[in-house]
Structure 1
Amino acid sequence: MIQLIQGDITRLVVDAIVNAANSSLLGGGGVDGAIHRAAGPSLLEECRKIRNRQGGCETGEAVITGAGNLPSRFVIHTVGPVWNGGEQNELQLLRNCYENSLALAVKNKVQTIAFPNISTGIYRFPKQLAAEIAISTVKEFTLNDMLEKVIFVSFDQENYAIYKNLML
């Protein structure tokens, strides 16, 4: 039910991939930029509509769009917290990213979903702690058996090794 791979999330054939977005939803660096580039202009257009309607996406929240040119059906955009030493509710906000993304997935009848390593790039969330939160939150959620498969996708070797060790 829970799987780990190292690779490019934009190439996965799943119902939904999760984008570690910024609050503007208009693309950026890292996985966000890669997803926007691979999906093409229709993804940006859908994100603009959401932004115009609700002003973007708050940290810990999630929104869903189509996937454009990606092999998935949906992109679930969630805004991870910027690490500030753990004093600004970052742990709960990261947990909310996973919970809200999973809830949106279930609401949209998603059976397979792939997550990147949210907030561990330029947002500087400690990778070990982020992986612990991601895995425990997904395990708690999947006890409900609402999803067929959850895949953690690590682009870099360091995150992959951390997840692999925690999932043993």
Structure 2
Amino acid sequence: MANGFGAEVTMAKLQLICDDILNLQGDGLVCPAHKHLIRGRGLSAQIYDRAGKALVSECLQQPECAVGEARLTGAPGLAVSYLLHTVTPQWSSGDQWGAEAVAQLRCCYRSVLALARAHGMRRLLFPALGAGTNRFPHQIAAHQGLEVLREAQDDFETLTVCLHSPAALAEWRQVDARFFGRR
């Protein structure tokens, strides 16, 4: 689209896919993290297994990471240049702490995006933050994640949310269509 000055303005492509996130290419891959940046469960374990001792060594040099914050490391053995580690909140079944967990999940996305901007990243890969071992329902995780990603999409070339199953992809697409008008 032209901006009136003869230059092209490109909008980020926010895409939802189902694939193996570890085989995708980009500038940065978001890794759900433990506060001490040690090997966790789920996707975190897969990333650490693939990246090996070089990642462990680099993570030992990082300060503790609180829920909602993000840290940057290299990504040895992966198809991306960087890992953006973020500590996601634990879903507590929507009890009295549910609103706090939702706000913290949004902070995870915002912290990752700020770190990516600061390091000139243009293509980011996101898992369904919080919806894995931390048990956020996909509908809630999708709404929070998509809202924050849509706010930031003009700053990036591509923002890819890679889901681990066709069912999860369907839920994210349903939320996207219902709340953001994308089909």
TM-score band w.r.t. shorter chain: over 0.9
Q: Deviation at 1:138? A: 0.3
CA–CA distance in 2 between the matches of 1:78 and 1:25? Answer: 9
The aligned residue for residue 74 of structure 1 is 82
The aligned residue for residue 41 of structure 1 is 53
Is 1:41–1:68's contact at 8 Å kept on the other side of the alignment?
A: no
The residue type equivalent to 2:85 in the other structure is H
Alignment of 1:3-14 (within 5 A): 3-14=15-26
Indicate which of 107, 120, 134 corresponds to 2:145. Answer: 134
The aligned residue for residue 62 of structure 1 is 70
SS for the counterpart of 1:4 is strand
SS for the counterpart of 1:73 is strand
After superposition, the CA RMSD in angstroms is: 1.1
Identity, % of aligned positions:
33
Aligned residues: 162
Indicate which of 133, 147, 150 corresponds to 1:122. Answer: 133
Indicate which of 161, 165, 168 corresponds to 2:174. Answer: 165
The aligned residue for residue 146 of structure 1 is 155
* 1:1-42 C-alpha deviation (Å, 9 max, x unpaired): 101111111111100000011212111110100111122221
The aligned residue for residue 8 of structure 2 is none
Q: Deviation at 1:132? A: 0.5
SS for the counterpart of 1:75 is strand
Give the TM-score taking structure 2 as reference length. Answer: 0.85
Structure 2 segments unaligned to the other structure (5+ residues)? 1-12, 177-182
Structure 2 residue 23 is matched with structure 1 residue 15: no
Q: Which has the larger radius of gyration?
A: 2
Is 2:138–2:172's contact at 8 Å kept on the other side of the alignment?
A: no
Structure 1 segments unaligned to the other structure (5+ residues)? none
Is 1:64–1:104's contact at 8 Å kept on the other side of the alignment?
A: yes
CA–CA distance in 2 between the matches of 1:59 and 1:21? Answer: 9
CA–CA distance in 1 between the matches of 2:152 and 2:91? Answer: 24
